[in-house]
């Protein structure tokens, strides 16, 4: 090999080595650039998630400060325009927050685990006359329609005529109710949630515990709820205890700004007291009337001059250490209808009745009966209108607002 050939070989070898080195260098740079870009994307994604998490916490703070759905939702980040969005759920509310490609959701609950049901009862329930649920509890929306639970009961109930009107014709069940597709109660074969008393809108639930579900503590600790400072406690007298002139006492307290009332002993709201009590509730966001360890009776509207307002609030009847007898009704106006001979109320219900409702009137809110082995009797027509806003307004005074475990993460 002459010198020229040797030089060419050396030059060629050097060129190959240089090209190879350049290729390796460029490949390394590409890898480095890729890693840098990937790191930047990961940092940006994490930043967006942090911002979205901040939006959730910001929304939670607004909700907690208000004690309910804030009337005006504030922007949480002016730079990125992060504004939390609130939606109603079966157990409370859901907050969603978004930043870039990060979209997060988490649920707020008031404590407890209140199931669906416009009326919920561990007592037996007896509807003697016509009952209309102008607005049932919509419950959960499925592909077939809403759950529409009118009654959730533990043991048994009797009815003669019941009409569930559904959720598309009457007053919405709460102000933020969203039903863009116009769906009514689920009413397909084998899934009847729009019935006349015999469908899935009347739920037999052997585990229903109205007090614990509503207040978030076992019924054995009911005195803790009574004594924590929110309720105005009024004591009846006698044996068994009765609060005299109960309807007027309650109306006076409500007009004075006391919207959570706990009566120790029995209570009867007479026809003469009906207007004052109902009108007092109408000017509030909803009252809570709880009758503990005694009989409870609503005698309905007066025959003339009845108010057009609805009773706005939560009616709660709780018997823990009291069991009724027919003789306990002797001093109540209700006794003339409940226990006259012969009685139109089926005997197995009549003899254990602790709640009696007479006369047509409308409740806007919720009714709860926690009185096992007793009965709630509705004698005349009832028009019930479930109102979640009223119920939430009542519960928020007793329940700690908190994140729902498992609704996103529990960090």
User: For residue range 181-204, what is the model confidence (pLDDT) as tens digits?
Assistant: 899 998 876 778 989 888 999 999
Both tokens assigned to 405: 């475990």
260-264 and 232-235 beta bridge pairing: parallel
Residue 54 clears pLDDT 80, i.e. is over it? yes
At residue 255, does pLDDT exceed 80?
Answer: yes
23-32, 75-84, 235-244, 340-349: range with lowest mean pLDDT = 23-32
pLDDT of residue 84: 84
| Residue 245 phi, psi (nearest 5) | 50, 45
CB 94 within 8 A of CB 86: yes
Report the alpha-carbon angle 382-349-159, nearest 5: 40
Please provide residue 119's backbone torsions phi and psi, each rounded to the nearest 5 degrees: -115, 130
pLDDT at 409 over 70: no
| pLDDT tens digits for range 124-170 | 999 998 889 999 999 988 888 999 999 999 999 999 889 999 999 88
Half-sphere exposure of 158 (CA within 13 A, CB side): 17
DSSP 275-313: HHHHHHHHTSS-EEEEEESS-EEE----SSS--S--EEE
Distances (CA, A) of 31 to 20, 41, 164: 16, 15, 67
The confidence band for 57, taking pLDDT boundaries of 50, 70 and 90, is confident
* DSSP letter, residue 234: E
E strand or H helix at 56: helix 3-66
Report, as an integer, the average pLDDT of 79-101. Answer: 79
pTM assigned to the model: 0.75
Say whether pLDDT at 271 is over 90. Answer: yes
Residue 266 pLDDT > 70, yes or no?
Answer: yes
Q: Is the pLDDT of residue 310 over 70?
A: yes
Q: How confident is the model at residue 113, as a pLDDT?
A: 75
| Alpha carbon distance 204, 78 (integer Å) | 50
CA 402 and chain centroid, separation: 14
Looking at the chain, the whole-number percentage of residues with pLDDT higher than 70 is 85
For residue 53, count other CB atoms closer than 10 A to its CB.
18
Per the CB < 8 A criterion, the answer to whether 98 and 84 are in contact is: no
R_g over Cα of the chain: 32
Q: 226 and 292 in contact (C-beta within 8 Å)?
A: yes
More confident site: 48 or 19: 48
pLDDT at 410: 47
């Amino acid at each position: 090999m002459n010198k020229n050939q040797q030089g060419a070989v050396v030059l060629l070898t050097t060129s190959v080595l240089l090209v190879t080195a350049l290729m390796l260098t460029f490949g390394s740079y590409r890898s480095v650039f890729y890693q840098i870009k990937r790191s930047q994307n990961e940092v940006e994604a994490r930043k967006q998630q942090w911002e979205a998490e901040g939006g959730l916490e910001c929304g939670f703070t607004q909700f907690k400060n208000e004690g309910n759905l804030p009337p005006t939702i504030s922007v949480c980040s002016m730079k990125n325009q992060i504004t939390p969005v609130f939606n109603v759920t079966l157990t409370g509310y859901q907050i969603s927050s978004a930043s870039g490609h990060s979209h997060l959701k988490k649920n707020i609950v008031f404590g407890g685990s209140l199931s669906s049901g416009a009326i919920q009862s561990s007592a037996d329930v007896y509807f003697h006359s016509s009952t209309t649920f102008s607005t049932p509890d919509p419950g959960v929306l499925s592909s077939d329609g809403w759950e529409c639970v009118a009654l959730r009961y533990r043991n048994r109930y009797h009815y003669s005529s019941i009409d569930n009107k559904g959720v598309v014709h009457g007053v919405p069940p709460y102000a933020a109710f969203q039903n863009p597709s116009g769906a009514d109660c689920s009413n397909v074969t084998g899934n009847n949630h729009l019935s006349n008393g015999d469908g899935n809108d009347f739920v037999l639930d052997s585990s229903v515990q109205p007090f614990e579900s509503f207040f978030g503590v076992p019924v054995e600790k009911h005195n803790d709820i009574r004594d924590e400072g929110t309720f105005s406690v009024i004591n009846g007298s006698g044996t068994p205890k009765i609060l005299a002139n109960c309807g007027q006492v309650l109306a006076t307290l409500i007009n004075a700004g006391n919207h959570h009332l706990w009566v120790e002993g029995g209570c009867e709201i007479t026809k003469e007291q009906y207007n004052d009590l109902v009108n007092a509730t109408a000017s509030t966001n909803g009252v809570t009337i709880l009758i503990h360890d005694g009989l409870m009776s609503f005698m309905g509207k007066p025959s003339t001059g009845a108010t057009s307002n609805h009773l706005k609030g939560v009616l709660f009847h709780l018997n823990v250490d009291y069991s009724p007898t027919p003789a306990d009704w002797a001093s109540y106006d209700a006794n003339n209808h409940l226990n006259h001979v012969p009685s139109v109320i089926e005997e197995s219900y009549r003899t254990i009745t602790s709640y009696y409702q007479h006369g047509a009137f409308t409740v806007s809110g919720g009714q709860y009966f926690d009185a096992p082995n007793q009965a709630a009797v509705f004698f005349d027509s009832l028009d019930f209108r479930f109102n979640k806003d009223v119920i939430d307004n009542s519960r928020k005074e007793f329940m700690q607002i908190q994140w729902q475990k498992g609704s996103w993460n529990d960090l």
